[in-house]
Amino acid sequence: MSIRCQWPAMKSLLFAGLLPLLIAGAPPGDIIAEADLRAHIAELASDAYQGRAPGTEGQTRTIGYIADQFSKAGLVSAATDRPWFQTVTLVERSVSASSAIFTRDGKPLALDPGQIALRGWQPLQAVRAASVVFFGYGISDALPDPSGAVVLLLRDTPQGSGEIPDFATRRNALLRGGAAAVIGIAGGETAFESLRRGYRRGGTALASAVTPGIDGVMTLEAASALFHSDGIDVAALVEEAGTPDYKGRAIGLEADLSVEMTLRRYDSFNVIGKVEGSAPEKGAVLVTGHWDHLGLCRSEGAADRICNGAVDNASGIALMIEVARKLRFGPQPVRDIYFVATTAEENGLLGARAFVERPAVPLDRIQAVLNVDTVALAPKGTPIAVIGRGGKLDAPIARAAAITGRAIDPDNEADEYLSRQDGAVFAEKGIPAVMLVSAFSDKPRLDAYLSSRYHGPDDELTDTTELGGAAEDATFHVVLARLLADPKEFSR
Ligand SMILES: [Zn+2]
C-alpha cells in the first residue's frame, strides 16, 4: 500500500502527534527482542561451554550450537571444507629453553642473556657457527642471499616510512628465504621488555603462518656490543641502513643459537552459513563475529576458573543468529549474505585471517563486512558508535539510521579498537568493514567493563546484564544488511 492511500489515516495520526513514531522506527518485522538474545547468551556463556576456548571440548559444543542455530534460522552451510565448518589449523607454542652465544675468532663475547629472547616453531632447533649479518631494515634489493645466516634486523622503521612493511612481514620473508635466524633489534628498553614478555608468554598462530628458522629480539645495547666488537659505529650503521641500495654488512661473528619449544597443533573451526540471494553474482555481504573466548583462565583451585565471555562475545554471536533469522525469513536479498562465526579472535584475529586466506566467497565479491563484538553493555536509546567510519559504508549507515530512528555517535573515539576486531582483517584487504555497536559510544560504561569483568571469570550473564542497546543494534544490522545486499542501494 502506498503512502498516498494511507494519507487520511496518516493525517489523523499526525494530529494525534503519533507521526514521529511511525517515521522513526524499524519495520516491526525487523525488530529483535532482548529475550531472544538473552537465550543464546545464557547457553553460550554457561559453564557447560567452559569459556569456549579453541581446541577444547568447549569448542565442540560451541560450534555445534552455532551450526544448529544457523540451521534453525534457515541458513544453508557456506563452508567449503565440510558442512558448516571451515578448518582453521592452529599451532600454540611456548619457549622451554633457549641460548645464544656469539663468538669472534672462537672466543665468546660476554652478552647478558636477559637482553636477548629467541623462539622457533620446532621442538628443538639449533644453529651452529652461522655467520652474523646486519640487514638494516631488510628491504633493499641489493641485500645478499640470507641463506644460513643469522640476520640482525632493525624492528622500527624510520619516521615517515609509511611504505615499509611491518617487522613481522620483513622478518618472515627472510626466514622463508632461508635465513637460519632473524633477530630484531628493539628500538628502546620498554619496547624490548614488552616483546620479551610476549616471547615468554608464548602464543598461537595459524599453521599456515609458521616459518622455518629461529626468530628473536635483542636490545639495542646488546646489538651495539656486537657491532662494537667489530669496530663498527652503530649510529653510522643505522644511518647507512636507510639508503635505498643498502648491501647489508657481515659483522665478523659466528652465532650458536638453540631453542627448545613446547608445541601443540590442533584444529579449530569457523562456522559459516548464508542466506542465499536471488542474484549471488552481484556479490556478497558478510556479518562476522568471533565465537571463541579464553576458556579456563584461572589456575586450578580458583573459586571460578571459567572465563565465560558473556559480553565478549557470546552477545555478538547471539546478535548474529537472530539477524540471520530475520534476513532469512524476510524478503529474499539480491546478494548472498554470509554469517561467519570466527575462531581464535582472542589469539590475534586468526579465524578471520584464515577466512581471507581461503575465503568461502572470493574477496573481490564481498561488498561489505559488518563485524559484531561485545554488544551487550549499553541501554536502549544509546547512539551507535561506528568503528571504521570514513569509508563507503557511511552513506548506507546513515540511511539505516534514518530508517530505524537511531542516532549515530558523531565522534571517532571508538576507532581506538579498530585494529583489535575481526573487521580489521577485511579492511586490510580493501573491503569496506565496520563495527557498529552502541556499547562503544558510551565511553565511561565501556571503560568500566574493560577495567572489571572484561577477560575475567565475571563476564557472565546475570539478571542485570543490559541488552537494550544490543537488541536495537541487532535490529539495525537487519536493516543495514538488507540495504547492503541490494545493488540498487549500495556497491563498494
Ligand atoms: Zn576478548
Residue 474 pLDDT greater than 60, yes or no: yes
pLDDT (mean) for 293-321: 96
Q: How far is the CA of 421 from the centre of ligand 1 (A)?
A: 9
pLDDT (mean) for 28-54: 97
Residue 63 pLDDT greater than 70, yes or no: yes
pLDDT computed for residue 16 by the predictor: 46
pLDDT (mean) for 342-353: 97
| Whole-angstrom distance, CA of residue 151 vs CA of residue 154 | 10
| Whole-angstrom distance, CA of residue 182 vs CA of residue 120 | 11
Task: Please measure the distance between the N-terminal and C-terminal CA atoms of the chain and give it in whole angstroms.
Answer: 32
pLDDT computed for residue 3 by the predictor: 40
Which residues have CB under 8 Å from 225's CB, separation 6+?
A: 109, 111
Q: How far is the CA of 324 from the centre of ligand 1 (A)?
A: 23
Q: Other C-beta atoms within 10 Å of 98: how many?
A: 20
Q: How far is the CA of 257 from the centre of ligand 1 (A)?
A: 35
pLDDT computed for residue 161 by the predictor: 65
**93-263 maps to CATH 3.40.50.2000:** no
Give the pLDDT confidence of 321-332 residue by residue, as tens digits: 999 999 999 999
Residue whose entry in the numeric block shows the C-alpha cell 572470493: 362
Strands 295-296, 306-307: parallel, antiparallel or unpaired by DSSP?
antiparallel
Residue 15 pLDDT greater than 70, yes or no: no
Please provide residue 433's backbone torsions phi and psi, each rounded to the nearest 5 degrees: -140, 130
| Whole-angstrom distance, CA of residue 270 vs CA of residue 185 | 36
Question: Mean pLDDT over all residues of the chain?
Answer: 93
Residue 234 pLDDT greater than 90, yes or no: no
pLDDT tier for residue 184 given thresholds of 50, 70 and 90: very high
User: Is it true that 23-91+266-484 and 93-263 share their CATH fold?
Assistant: no
Q: How far is the CA of 422 from the centre of ligand 1 (A)?
A: 11
Judged by average pLDDT, the poorest of 17-26, 53-62, 97-106, 131-140 is 17-26
Q: How far is the CA of 42 from the centre of ligand 1 (A)?
A: 18
| Whole-angstrom distance, CA of residue 31 vs CA of residue 405 | 13
pLDDT computed for residue 162 by the predictor: 66
Residue 412 pLDDT greater than 50, yes or no: yes
pLDDT tier for residue 10 given thresholds of 50, 70 and 90: very low
**Alpha carbon separation from 387 to 209, 236, 325, 383 (Å, rounded):** 27, 43, 25, 13
pLDDT computed for residue 24 by the predictor: 62
Domain ranges of the chain: 23-91+266-484, 93-263
pLDDT computed for residue 424 by the predictor: 96
Q: How far is the CA of 307 from the centre of ligand 1 (A)?
A: 10
Residue 104 pLDDT greater than 70, yes or no: yes
CATH of domain 23-91+266-484: 3.40.630.10
Strands 433-437, 124-134: parallel, antiparallel or unpaired by DSSP?
unpaired
Q: How far is the CA of 156 from the centre of ligand 1 (A)?
A: 28
pLDDT computed for residue 188 by the predictor: 77
Judged by average pLDDT, the poorest of 10-24, 124-138, 465-479 is 10-24
Element holding 284 (H helix, E strand): strand 284-290
Q: How far is the CA of 410 from the centre of ligand 1 (A)?
A: 25
Residue 189 pLDDT greater than 80, yes or no: no
Q: How far is the CA of 213 from the centre of ligand 1 (A)?
A: 31
pLDDT computed for residue 19 by the predictor: 45
Q: How far is the CA of 216 from the centre of ligand 1 (A)?
A: 27
Residue whose entry in the numeric block shows the C-alpha cell 652474523: 132
Judged by average pLDDT, the poorest of 297-301, 327-331, 472-476 is 297-301
Give the pLDDT confidence of 261-279 residue by residue, as tens digits: 999 999 999 999 999 999 9
Give the pLDDT confidence of 420-449 residue by residue, as tens digits: 999 999 999 999 999 999 999 999 999 999
pLDDT (mean) for 110-114: 90
Q: How far is the CA of 309 from the centre of ligand 1 (A)?
A: 8
| Whole-angstrom distance, CA of residue 474 vs CA of residue 319 | 6
pLDDT computed for residue 198 by the predictor: 92
pLDDT tier for residue 243 given thresholds of 50, 70 and 90: confident
